[in-house]
């Protein structure tokens, strides 16, 4: 009986199918990600406009008059002189602009300090060869 049992066990093992090993998948090379284009470097005008917007907001949000005056002095350093013209566009049609009464940067910065409201944004800025602002054009938000 034992002999039959051993033969039966041996027969079962020999009848098992041999599973062939599946071929290993061929690695697919993924293309390298395209290099990101370099972020365009901002122009001198864009950098100056960003700094001025920061100064305008700092003046409006200054906790006291001394802090606002210090920020005004710092901002005036960006201009060719304290009498640099500031033009505020109040209307534009067919490329023709109507301006509010012209003012100077010194007056405009003090206006921001007094009113604590920054209702305008910089629409055009002109710089001289040394990077100082020679003219500023603003528009209503």
Per-residue pLDDT of the chain (141 residues; tens, 9 = 90+): 565 555 555 544 444 444 555 566 667 677 777 788 877 889 999 999 999 999 999 999 999 999 999 999 999 999 999 999 999 999 999 989 999 999 999 999 999 999 999 999 999 999 999 999 999 999 988
Q: Provide the pLDDT for residue 69.
A: 97
Q: Provide the pLDDT for residue 8.
A: 54
In this prediction the pTM is 0.72
Per-residue buried b or exposed e for 63-83, using 16+ beta carbons within 10 Å of the residue's own CB: eeeeebeebbeebbebbbeee
Q: Provide the pLDDT for residue 53.
A: 97
Q: How many CB atoms lie within 10 A of CB 86?
A: 24
109 lies in a domain? yes
Q: What angle do CA 91, 94, 100 make, to 5 degrees?
A: 20
Q: Provide the pLDDT for residue 9.
A: 53
27 lies in a domain? no
9 lies in a domain? no
Q: Provide the pLDDT for residue 13.
A: 45
Q: Is 126 helix (H, G, I), strand (E, B) or coil?
A: strand
Residues 6+ apart with CB under 8 A from 37: none
Read off the DSSP letter of residue 12.
H
Residue-range definition of the domain harbouring residue 118: 44-140
Q: Provide the pLDDT for residue 36.
A: 81
Q: Provide the pLDDT for residue 141.
A: 84
5 lies in a domain? no
Q: Say how many domains are in the chain.
A: 1
Q: Provide the pLDDT for residue 2.
A: 60
pLDDT tens-digit profile of 87-121?
A: 999 999 998 999 999 999 999 999 999 999 999 99
69 lies in a domain? yes
3 lies in a domain? no
57 lies in a domain? yes
Q: Using CB atoms within 10 A of its CB, is residue 105 exposed (0-12), middle (13-18) or buried (19+)? A: buried
For residue 91, give the CATH number of its domain. 3.10.450
33 lies in a domain? no
């Amino acid at each position: 009986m034992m002999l039959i049992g051993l033969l039966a066990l041996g027969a079962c093992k020999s009848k098992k199918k041999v599973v062939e090993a599946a071929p290993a998948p061929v690695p697919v090379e993924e293309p390298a990600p395209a290099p990101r284009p370099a972020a365009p470097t901002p122009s001198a005008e864009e950098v100056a406009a960003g700094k001025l917007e920061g100064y305008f907001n700092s003046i409006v949000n200054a906790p006291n008059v001394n802090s606002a005056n210090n920020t005004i002095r710092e901002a005036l350093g960006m201009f060719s002189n304290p009498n640099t013209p500031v033009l505020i566009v109040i209307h534009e049609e067919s490329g023709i602009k109507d301006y509010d009464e012209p003012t100077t940067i010194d007056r405009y910065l003090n206006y921001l300090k007094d009113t604590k409201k920054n209702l305008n944004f910089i629409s055009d800025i002109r710089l001289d060869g040394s990077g100082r602002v020679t003219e500023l054009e603003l528009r209503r938000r």
